[in-house]
Structure 1
């Protein structure tokens, strides 16, 4: 079952300071330190090494198999050691580097990956073994666990049948050959599999600890053991998480920060004031006024990135109106994306005319630099979106006068931002299509339930890619996915995504993805992308070595302060 990585709360996404678990870089074996320059012992660094940060909300759980939020992911990246990490080189390029595995081999046919583990210890002194990684992966795919991100592991042999309960967990293609060797067999050659090896669902877990604590595993600091750079010492729920350096970590000599505090701060202005008065060292900023103010501060550095995410409207293709492709196209083209970016998102976010955001790469190149956004072509060919609406209404045998059409848009939030957004959508669609729009504002659980039951016409959400490949976004709309509940099915689209998943030739994969995105947006308009969110991070200049790129997973490992 695919998990929804919802970004429906705009402020939450903008404010969260997190290093996303995703993928990128090169497949294959690397000899080590993408972050060598950062990891070198710096001269003249501060004698006291600590970092003060924040999370917008507290982690749901530190159970790697069950967590689905960015907050828990931020913590897990720093307290557990995956097989690999996606680190940043001196040019801020992502490079897949050894972590829990010191090396790995790939069979000639690309279907067998063999990982050779390094010496590492858990925080209780027990050695980390290949059996811990095997157990963690199998537990994530065990249907009894109900892991929301189990779908990421579907390239593994028998993963689908194991996850659906058709085969026992022992039939999964994951096996500890010995304490230091982990073998993973795949269903088919998967060009991006290396980019899945540092996801939370592939992190190691101790069977004895999981069984000891049962449902409370990962809910308190003492209900989990750690094998990453840091240990969670204190968790004051809804208030603060406190960490210290892990002395048992294999690379502890390159970890400089001795302690870390992550306060739970949900209110926007409270975060900005905390950064301003120095009680936190780094913050994501979504307010234009505060961006301008912090940009003028000489002691702060400004980091701007486009997130690997897309905000979008989506259509219920089983609805009597939106089962028509021309009507869906009309509603997509009627979105004034530049105006939306300026009015609703204060000019911070970028207009979106494609489904795959600009920060996603295929191989060494950004996907969007190679593939024109499909909605740009659709708009060029259809300058009057109202004509498409009338055509669609005629095809359905309905009244072709737009003023007699009323459509409901459902929003999964009830605060002022959603009220403002709803009012804007009403005005925009009335102006550009002449239709009547009613806005339904619901609390998120009710909205989500209605969407999953198909009780909506148009919904609004956002999605963030889990790994750095177009498949992370395009596979969400396959007919066997329930990630985005549009009710849409297209055999050709499914086949293209399946072909791309097993194709090792990058140019062929590019063509498959290009055609699939064309079907999704140009031919069918199943979803209507609106903006690509940007993040603006302000960080005190004495902070060094923290990750910058959206997909990077080095977290706090190489962080240090100099001149605090």
Structure 2
């Protein structure tokens, strides 16, 4: 989420599967779903063969921040709700809709009779344990902030009060009570997000440091189990016969091959070893008349993080110069050519509508754009203020095929339009790239975010001072205040809350904290016998619970 989906979205970049986020993409595209490779026998066995562009960074739901992890977790774990058709939250571990207090601050859930894959019952305490773990400052969970709507959550995460004072408790094995700081209009959808999944305390503690590192050091309560995990090569989901709703899960297996370049993925599709293949620009032209060619808009947004820990990028004119110095439309039309659109914003188009029914992006408009002369003027001011004639910056990039091409395009455009600039490119595997960003060990980076829940806040709260997903040293007290108000005192005034989020986004671009690149779209090939894979606009990318091979 999409964390962050993350958001975080190498998948989308390679156009294999994803955006998060905190949020992205959300998150990665759900276009790498596939099914039984070749003959009808495999199809009858309900086997789906997919492509993924990255290793799974984490299988610990309290620590995951990226779209790859969230996509897998969505299919092997289950929270109180999961997303169904049209992204509507449907009951998961919750046996029935909760009792909600008159003030909208207290939710009481009954936990259904469900089992973990090791046979243990799923209990209310599994939620209490997991949520306390995520917010315990010793855990270091980047996504802890997404739980701050729960009473005392921020204080627990700051170490100001013990975890036992978190506003969640198991009144008995099957009753979970949640107290909120303020009413949250999208709370049920939020509860479908990975950070809110339960964890089996006894099992987790038995595994110790090994928890989440291998397929057999995790226990599952979702439609599937992670039955095989060959790191950096492949992984397999198998139907979980212990799942409470197993009778409605048709797929027997979901197989993922980890493939970083589009050509290899297309070859797997052509040889009936994958049922869905994401397409980059050159393959779109080749296959656009194919009867199995599809395209779809996404809600993930990709952008350049401009790390203000860097002396040059701390300068606002340098940041504005970079944003003005490359042709976003040309990049999208030529290098992507897949339904993506140039982005001059953070909150995506066609994502959410305001209290008055107006689509967010339509009401707010765009920021900035390609202007080589303006870029040169900003750059000249920056160099004068910095006392430098020549500058070298390193671009932290993903190592997928399409992202490498975008990196080269950025290098060429920036060096051409910003005199004296040299750009070096550092391409890294997804997990290592995320780690470098988290540590702030980069100059500027190619990043993405997919929404984690249906509200602009999943994008705009990323960049508060010292926020877990800020990761670039940006700080503006006025921006922080707008976010704080929209999360607190303005929740009872939806119009004012909406305006606060709009104002926050404007501040972000007045400061040119980031340089937005494009809103993702995906073009892909999908076999006609793949049915009912749900693609989500926030949170995890795909749900396979209801998918089948026909």
Give the structure-2-normalised TM-score. 0.84
Distance 2:15 2:8 in 1: 13
Measure how far apart 1:211 and its partner are.
1.2
Per the alignment, do residues 535 and 500 of structure 1 end up closer, same or farther by CA in structure 2, a change over 3 Å counting? Answer: same
1:484 to 449, 470, 481: 470
The aligned counterpart of 1:31 is none
Residue number in structure 2 paired with 1:510: 498
Instruction: Output the CA distance in 2 between the equivalents of 1:518 and 1:241.
Output: 42
Unaligned runs of 5+ in 1: 25-44
Q: State which of 494, 514, 538 in structure 2 corresponds to 1:527.
A: 514
Instruction: Check if 1:110 corresponds to 2:104.
Output: yes
Q: Which one is further off, 450-459 or 351-360?
A: 450-459
1:213 corresponds to: 207
Structure 1 distance, partners of 2:487, 2:139, is 26
Higher mean Cα deviation, 411-420 or 535-544?
411-420
Conserved? CA contact 1:21–1:73, under 8 Å = no
* Aligned position for 1:56: 53
TM-aligned CA distance change 1:370 to 1:151, over 3 Å: same
Equivalent residue number for residue 540 of structure 1: 527
The one of 416, 425, 435 equivalent to 1:441 is 425
1:467 aligns with 2:453: yes
1:410 is matched with 394
Following TM superposition, by how much is the alpha carbon of 1:539 offset from its aligned partner in structure 2, in angstroms? 1.4
Matched, 1:16 2:13: no
Deviation at 1:487, TM superposition (A): 2.8
Whether 2:65 is the aligned partner of 1:74: answer no
Inter-partner Cα distance in structure 2 for 1:202 and 1:542: 34
1:94-493 equivalent positions in 2, closer than 5 A: 94-101=87-94, 102-285=96-279, 287-298=280-291, 300-316=292-308, 319=311, 321-346=312-337, 349-362=340-353, 366-375=359-368, 384-390=374-380, 396=385, 405-413=389-397, 421=406, 424-429=409-414, 431-432=416-417, 434-442=418-426, 444=428, 458-493=444-479
**How far is the alpha carbon of 1:71 from its aligned partner?**
2.8
Q: Give the superposition deviation at 1:545.
A: 0.6
1:349, CA displacement in angstroms?
2.9
Residue 383 of structure 1 deviates from its aligned partner by 7.8
Q: Give distance in 2, aligned partners of 1:49 and 1:426.
A: 45
Partner of 2:30 in structure 1?
Answer: none
Does the 8 Å CA contact 1:409/1:456 hold for their aligned counterparts? no
RMSD between aligned residues: 3.4
SS across alignment from 1:370: helix
TM (norm. structure 1) is: 0.82
User: Distance between the aligned counterparts of 2:350 and 2:14, measured in 1?
Assistant: 16
Distance 1:347 1:280, change over 3 A: closer
- Quick one: distance in 2 between partners of 1:254 and 1:428? 52
User: What does residue 35 of structure 1 align with?
Assistant: none
Residue aligned with 2:336, SS = coil
Per the alignment, residue 34 of structure 2 pairs with: none
Deviations, residues 26-76 of structure 1 (Å, cap 9, x unaligned): xxxxxxxxxxxxxxxxxxx97432212232233233222223333332221
Instruction: Check the 8 A contact 1:94/1:552 in 2, yes or no.
Output: no
Gapped regions of structure 2 (runs ≥ 5): 25-41
Which structure's CA Rg is the greater one?
1
Query: Distance between the aligned counterparts of 1:62 and 1:447, measured in 2?
Result: 18
Further displaced range: 506-515 or 419-428: 419-428
Q: Cα offset for 1:82?
A: 1.0
Distance apart, 1:121 and its partner CA: 2.1
User: Residues 109, 428 of structure 1: CA spacing in aligned structure 2 closer, same or farther, 3 A cutoff?
Assistant: same
Number of aligned positions between the proteins = 522
Question: For the structure 1 residues 392 and 216, does the alpha-carbon distance in structure 2 shift closer, same or farther, using more than 3 Å as the test?
Answer: closer
Structure 1 residue 129, shift from structure 2 partner: 1.4
- Asked whether 1:556 is paired with 2:544, we answer yes
Conserved? CA contact 2:136–2:163, under 8 Å: yes
User: The residue matched to 1:103 in structure 2 has which SS?
Assistant: coil
Q: Secondary structure at the match of 2:116?
A: coil
**Residues 23, 195 of structure 1: 8 Å contact kept:** no
Give the distance between the partners of 1:451 and 1:257, measured in 2 at CA: 37
CA 183–316 in structure 1, closer or farther in 2 if over 3 Å, else same: same
Change (3 A) 1:427 1:249: closer
Cα distance in 2 between the residues matched to 1:17 and 1:134:
32
Report SS of the residue matched to 2:329.
helix
